[in-house]
Amino acid sequence: MRAVIQDRYGTAEAIGVDDLPEPVPADDEILIEVKAVSLNGSDRENLAGSPFYSRLGGLRRPRNPVPGSDVAGIVVSAGRSVTEYAKGDEVYGELAGYRGGLAEYVATSPRLLARKPTGMSFMDAAAIPQAGCIAYRATRGIGPGDRVLVNGAGGAGGSLVIGLAKHYGATVTGVDRAAKADHMRHIGADDTIDFETEDWADHRDRYDRIVDLMGHRSPYRVHRALRPGGQYLMVGGRTRILLALAAAGWSAGRGKTVKVLVVPQSRADLEAVTALVTEGVVTLALDRTYSLEHAPAAFARLAAEDHQGKIVVRVP
């Protein structure tokens, strides 16, 4: 089968497309004929091997050379102990080990996968899993009138956080590059900040919820931007701050919370956020699409500074 191969950490030049043996599913796995794969910020990190947590899947080089976590496709066969899916079922979801998707076939546990809604394209289904589940968890508890700031709002997760926060009635400020301001407004942001010219953390007592997909500020800096009772959720960013916050938490006083949001891989969350997409509550923001043979170009775009929303790879 054709597959994307990453044999080292680095830039998009570390990515190639080659032939690999077709995987054989274990008794508790299904074999999927992959139709579409979407890329996330975590794929860029897994390519670079940075931040450091992206090397959990291999210190010197990735143990599984095939990148790609968010897939949609058709079940080709099911192991003996699999009862919930059978040949021909259309499924989508995030792969348990965050890798293996960018190939014509992947063998995986069915535990995290859901049935693709009838009428939804494979491209749209592949665009939902990781970004959708981040947005679903990060916006829980947001209500009408809340002021929400999303840092890294023009990317995969942030674009959906904006949409869901607006749905819950919040006023949303999106922070990203100036070139993504129109995109952020188009998907619902009331206000935008260019992080290259303005530091939102200089704002005082302004936000009820800060969702930070690119966290690099100390808890002391971010808590001052929260209103009393507000919540800062760090989703991604600098390892040192993630570890410090995850280990010790941070008490900010005046009812403010500063913490890491750990997003579980959950089929229930995936189905819940997908229902919001199919109801039209939130719109998927798709960037460009590439064929599997052009996956290196898709990674180059992911690493460049102008993608907006999700990049999707069509397979084959």
Ligand X SMILES: NC(=O)c1ccc[n+]([C@@H]2O[C@H](COP(=O)([O-])OP(=O)(O)OC[C@H]3O[C@@H](n4cnc5c(N)ncnc54)[C@H](OP(=O)(O)O)[C@@H]3O)[C@@H](O)[C@H]2O)c1
Q: Judge contact between 174 and 182, C-beta under 8 A.
A: no
DSSP, collapsed to helix, strand or coil, labels residue 104 as: coil
Binding residue (CB under 6 A) for ligand X from 32, 75, 112, 175: 175
155/197 Cα distance (integer angstroms): 19
How many Å separate Cα 69 from the centre of its chain?
9
- If one asks whether residue 45 binds ligand X (CB under 6 A), the answer comes out as yes
Binding range to ligand X, per CB under 6 A, among 41-49, 55-63, 113-121, 288-296: 41-49
Binding residue (CB under 6 A) for ligand X from 93, 154, 163, 219: 154
The binding track of 200-219 with respect to ligand X, each residue x by CB under 6 A or -, is -------------xx-----
> How buried is 238 (Cβ within 10 angstroms: 0-12 exposed, 13-18 middle, 19+ buried)?
middle
DSSP 66: -
Structure tokens at 192: 């935008």
Show Cβ contacts of residue 1 under 8 Å, excluding neighbours closer than 6 positions. 19, 20, 21, 22, 103, 104, 105
Binding range to ligand X, per CB under 6 A, among 4-12, 19-27, 28-36, 130-138: 130-138
Binding range to ligand X, per CB under 6 A, among 70-78, 117-125, 149-157, 286-294: 149-157
- If one asks whether residue 155 binds ligand X (CB under 6 A), the answer comes out as yes
Using CB under 6 A as the binding rule, the residues of this chain from 276 to 295 that contact ligand X are none
- If one asks whether residue 25 binds ligand X (CB under 6 A), the answer comes out as no
139/146 Cα distance (integer angstroms): 11
- If one asks whether residue 261 binds ligand X (CB under 6 A), the answer comes out as yes
- If one asks whether residue 158 binds ligand X (CB under 6 A), the answer comes out as yes
253/223 Cα distance (integer angstroms): 9
Q: Judge contact between 250 and 232, C-beta under 8 A.
A: no
Q: Judge contact between 96 and 42, C-beta under 8 A.
A: no
Binding residue (CB under 6 A) for ligand X from 127, 235, 241, 252: 235
Binding range to ligand X, per CB under 6 A, among 28-36, 73-81, 141-149, 258-266: 258-266
Binding range to ligand X, per CB under 6 A, among 79-87, 117-125, 257-265, 266-274: 257-265
DSSP, collapsed to helix, strand or coil, labels residue 227 as: strand
Which parts of this chain interact with ligand X (CB under 6 A)?
40-42, 44-45, 130-131, 134, 151-152, 154-158, 175-177, 195, 213-214, 235-236, 261-263, 305, 307
